[in-house]
């Protein structure tokens, strides 16, 4: 952390309200098995720490009883609201919906499966009280993930940080606390491609890391598979870097230089040794190699064109079917 930001943090610290309202933003997709346990644990932690809070659940088109369970809980006096999306839009869109519907002074984004330990929330609030605008959870132990997932994640973070202008902290998930200023900043970002980790990093502000060990899912099953993760990684890279586009300029220049050198050799050889016809193998190799490269580069351009297409349609990021409000969503402390 550079020293230039310290006076800013001190000013932020002085301006913090004494008893902030914490919005807990939870995207849920078919989480009926774990949702009651989640509510029990989180409510206990928040009440125990004496933190005023509201739950902002975003039902991302669940096909089980998740929405029914939650609307019952809200009817029974749970503070906050349930934002029901019209279909499954994906976690990134659900998070965006949650941020749009949060009323708190700060928001904490967490998964419903208790993989983001709620016990850390009071520590995150302490970090916020100390003046930081973002307090993000850093997974020091990912043994609950498979070796393949850890390896591919690590490769992705390395590549992302090389190719983009922003720094994604390795092994930081979406689990984090953000100040109202940051929420408002995120709302300013209009893009349809919501790679939230990237957007969180892009908006900047002062941030602090909070290391933790990531436990396994409390119940239910993961909503991810490798195909989804691969596409997620592509969204992230193309959303924050134009290097994959620009590299073809240099690749093309390099190949052209080599071809020129080869042409010189051929001319000289013909002058010295006369015309000799064989060359089928080298011609075939060159044709196949270059058509491969051309298709690949057109494919990369296609990735960006597809994303441009999606952005220009200007469709909303998510659609809300209904919002079910809890008993009170104001700023009062609830027991």
Quick check: 223 binds ligand UDP (CB under 6 A)? yes
Residue closer to Mg ion (CB basis): 103 or 217: 217
The number of angstroms, rounded, from the C-alpha of 89 to the middle of its chain's C-alpha atoms is 14
Cβ pair 334, 328 in contact under 8 A: yes
Phi, psi of 171 (to 5 degrees): 65, 20
Quick check: 113 binds Mg ion (CB under 5 A)? yes
235 binds, among Mg ion, ligand UDP, none (CB under 5 to 8 A by kind): none
Residue closer to Mg ion (CB basis): 222 or 285: 222
CB of 127 to ligand UDP, least distance (A): 23
Quick check: 235 binds ligand UDP (CB under 6 A)? no
Quick check: 133 binds Mg ion (CB under 5 A)? no
Quick check: 291 binds ligand UDP (CB under 6 A)? no
Quick check: 111 binds ligand UDP (CB under 6 A)? yes
Binding footprint of ligand UDP, residue count (CB under 6 A): 16
Gyration radius of the chain's alpha carbons: 25
CB of 317 to Mg ion, least distance (A): 22
Q: State which of residues 43, 66, 115, 206 lies at the interface with Mg ion (CB under 5 A).
A: 115
Quick check: 31 binds Mg ion (CB under 5 A)? no
Neighbours of 62 (CB within 10 A): 20
Tell me how far apart the alpha carbons of residues 159 and 164 are, in angstroms, rounded to a whole number: 9
Under rule CB under 6 A, which residues in 49-88 are in contact with ligand UDP? 60, 88
Quick check: 98 binds ligand UDP (CB under 6 A)? no
- Which are the contacts of 95, defined by CB distance < 8 A and separation ≥ 6? 25, 27, 58, 109, 174, 194, 196
Quick check: 94 binds ligand UDP (CB under 6 A)? yes
Residue for token digits 């997620």? 232
- Which are the contacts of 236, defined by CB distance < 8 A and separation ≥ 6? 156, 160, 195, 197, 198
88 binds, among Mg ion, ligand UDP, none (CB under 5 to 8 A by kind): ligand UDP
Among the listed ranges 76-84, 89-97, 107-115, 253-261, the one in contact with Mg ion (CB under 5 A) is 107-115
DSSP letter (8 states) at residue 188: T
Cβ pair 206, 12 in contact under 8 A: yes
Among the listed ranges 43-51, 115-123, 185-193, 293-301, the one in contact with Mg ion (CB under 5 A) is 115-123
Cβ pair 78, 327 in contact under 8 A: yes
91 binds, among Mg ion, ligand UDP, none (CB under 5 to 8 A by kind): ligand UDP
Quick check: 21 binds ligand UDP (CB under 6 A)? no
Quick check: 27 binds ligand UDP (CB under 6 A)? yes
β-strands 52-59, 80-85: how paired? parallel
Strand order in the sheet with 106-109: 207-213, 134-141, 172-179, 106-109, 21-28, 52-59, 80-85, 320-325
Closest CA to 108 of 200, 5, 36: 200
Token digits of residue 238: 């193309």
Q: State which of residues 19, 86, 143, 222 lies at the interface with ligand UDP (CB under 6 A).
A: 222
Binding site for ligand UDP (CB under 6 A): 27-29, 31, 60, 88, 90-91, 94, 111-113, 115, 222-224
Binding site for Mg ion (CB under 5 A): 111, 113, 115
């Amino acid at each position: 952390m550079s020293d230039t930001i310290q006076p800013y943090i001190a000013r932020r610290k002085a301006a913090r309200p004494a008893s902030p309202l914490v919005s807990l933003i939870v995207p849920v997709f078919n989480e009926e098995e774990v949702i009651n346990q989640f509510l029990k644990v989180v409510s206990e932690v928040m009440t125990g720490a004496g933190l005023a809070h509201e739950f902002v659940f975003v039902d991302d088109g669940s096909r089980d009883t998740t929405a029914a369970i939650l609307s019952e809980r809200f009817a029974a006096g749970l503070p906050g609201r349930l934002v029901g999306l019209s279909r499954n839009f994906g976690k990134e869109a659900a998070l965006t919906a949650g941020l749009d519907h949060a009323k708190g002074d700060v928001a904490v984004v967490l998964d419903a499966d208790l993989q983001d330990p709620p016990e850390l929330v009071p520590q995150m609030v302490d970090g916020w009280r100390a003046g930081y605008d973002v307090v993000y959870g850093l997974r020091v132990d990912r043994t609950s993930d498979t070796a393949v997932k850890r390896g591919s994640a690590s490769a992705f973070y390395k590549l992302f940080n090389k190719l983009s202008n922003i720094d994604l902290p390795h092994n930081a998930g979406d689990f984090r606390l953000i100040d109202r200023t940051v929420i408002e900043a995120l709302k300013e970002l209009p893009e349809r491609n919501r790679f939230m980790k990237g957007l969180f990093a892009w908006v900047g502000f002062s941030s602090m890391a909070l290391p933790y060990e990531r436990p396994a899912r409390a119940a239910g099953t993961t909503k991810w598979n490798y195909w989804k993760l691969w596409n997620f990684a592509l969204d992230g890279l193309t959303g924050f870097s134009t290097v994959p586009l620009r590299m073809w300029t240099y690749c093309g220049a390099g190949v052209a230089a080599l071809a020129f050198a080869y042409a010189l050799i051929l001319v000289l050889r013909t002058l010295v040794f006369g015309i000799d016809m064989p060359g089928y193998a080298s011609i075939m190799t060159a044709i196949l190699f270059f058509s491969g490269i051309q298709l690949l580069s057109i494919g990369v351009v296609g990735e960006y064109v597809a994303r441009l297409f999606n952005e220009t349609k200007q469709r909303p990021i998510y659609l809300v079917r209904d919002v079910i409000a809890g008993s009170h969503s104001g700023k009062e402390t609830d027991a």
